[in-house]
Every structure is written in C-alpha cells, then in structure tokens.
Amino acid sequence: MSPILVGIKRVIDYSVRVRVKPDGSGVVTDGVKMSINPFDEIALEEALRIRERNLANEVIAISIGPAEAAQQLRTALAMGADRALLVQVEQPVEPLTAAQIFLNLVQKYQPQLVILGKQAIDDDNGQTGQMLAALWDRPQATYASKLELDGARARVTREVDAGLDTIEIDLPGVVTTDLRLNEPRYIKLPDIMKAKKKPLDVTSMAELGVAAPAHGIRTLKYDSPAVRSRGVMVKDAAELVAALQQRGIL
C-alpha cells in the first residue's frame, strides 16, 4: 500500500466578499477569514475515506504557501491526515511551479494517488492537477464526482458540460475534485488536540530544488469588476411579461 497526497491551499474563506485594494495591488486580506480551499477539503475527505477502507496506508497533506498556511494544515491533520508538509513560499506560486513542487514530492513519496481540488477559489486557475499529470506523465481525472479504486486502477465519474463521463485510469494518477464527490466531515474537539501531536514539517522550494520560472506570467494589476445596477421592481406576472416585451425580449 502506498500513500495519498492531498493539496491544501490557504485561501480567503468562500463567504467573504472579496474587495480590491484601492491601489490595485491586490485584494484586501487584513482581518479577513482564511480557510482551506473548499475543493481541497473534499480532496482530503476522499483520501481519508480511502485510507479508512484500508486501501491506502497514509494521507499526507501538502500546502504551498506562507507560514500561516500551517493553520490550514493543522485543520487537515485534525480532519484525519496523518502528516503534513508546508512548502513555505513568500509569494504565491504559479500553477506550473506548484505542479513542479508536487512532482518533486511525488517522486519522494511514491503515492498511488494525488488528489487536488479542481480549482482554488482565489485565483480560479484550475490548472495544477492537469499540469502535475503532464509532468509526471500519468493519467488525470478532473472534476471527479465519484472515485472507485480497483487494485491498480481507478474508475472516475467526471462532471462535464454534457453530463457525467466515466473514465478508467491506471494508477498512480491525479484526481481533481468536484463539489459532489463527498461532504467533508466536521472536526471534533479531541481531534484538534490529537492533531497537535502529528508531524507538520516545513520545507522550501530551494530545499526541494524547485526554482520559480524565469519567464512567468505576471499579474500587473487588480481592478474591481463592473457592477450591475439595480433595476425595476414589478408587482405581478403580467407586469413582468409587459416589462420583457418593452425590452424587446419577448
């Protein structure tokens, strides 16, 4: 049996209304609640369920982020991950760099599966899993809503635009999670105490031998989106139909 690697990204909580800083240099993060990226929580839950069925020996939670991302890794440990590794970076890394870091860790830990969120709700890129699979030269099963392991293979149902696709992949491989894969468990107080004793190691890109790209994609500025203004209120269905007619829609 081999381990499962899970990505845990520290992001602004999904319930926060994100605002752009007046100088356009980023978004407001002071005093803002931070959480595990929701898709990563689903990834961790899936890995835990596989381990609980004795189909994996260990779940390793990995975060690439600032020192504070240790908080999210502690939460992952409290959920049930066996150990955690923080790859500490000062600046956010591009998905390609994140994939290179994961490739390095895959070679080190030899997992049967890497489960990542289909996207992080901060940069909304949705790339790291596919890029890791490419660099690793292994299968990818993105947008998973069902994952069944069968020895050296996995059968994955994927949420795609047309409906649901099912594919079969040889392991090891990369799976990225969609919303309906599972419902992550709640953490109980004793688990938080237990998590404090679990190993949480910190490393760096330099220690792993991964360099940031010399020719990366640069973010130049942040703008607030154009806002839609409030329209008119009508009082019943007949007025609504009339309003649609007036706009030439009906």
Segment 209-228, which members bind another protein (CB under 8 A)? Answer: 213, 215-225, 228
Choose one: 53-61, 80-88, 105-113, 154-162; the region binding another protein (CB under 8 A).
154-162
Find all residues with CB under 8 Å of 72, minimum gap 6, and list them.
8, 9, 10, 34, 35, 36, 63, 65
Q: Considering only residues 11-40, where is the footprint of another protein by CB under 8 A? A: 12, 14, 17-20, 27, 39
Choose one: 55-63, 72-80, 165-173, 198-206; the region binding another protein (CB under 8 A).
165-173
Q: Are 61 and 114 in contact (CB under 8 A)?
A: no
Of 8, 85, 96, 114, the one binding another protein (CB under 8 A) is 96
Q: Which amino acid is at 159?
A: E
| Integer angstrom CA distances of residue 72 from 25, 86, 242 | 25, 10, 52
Q: Considering only residues 35-94, where is the footprint of another protein by CB under 8 A? A: 39, 94
Tell whether residue 127 is a contact of another protein (CB under 8 A): yes
Contacts within 8 Å (CB) and 24+ apart, 151-158: 154/113
| Distance in angstroms (rounded) separating the CA atoms of residues 12 and 20 | 13
Tell whether residue 7 is a contact of another protein (CB under 8 A): no
Tell whether residue 240 is a contact of another protein (CB under 8 A): yes
Tell whether residue 232 is a contact of another protein (CB under 8 A): yes
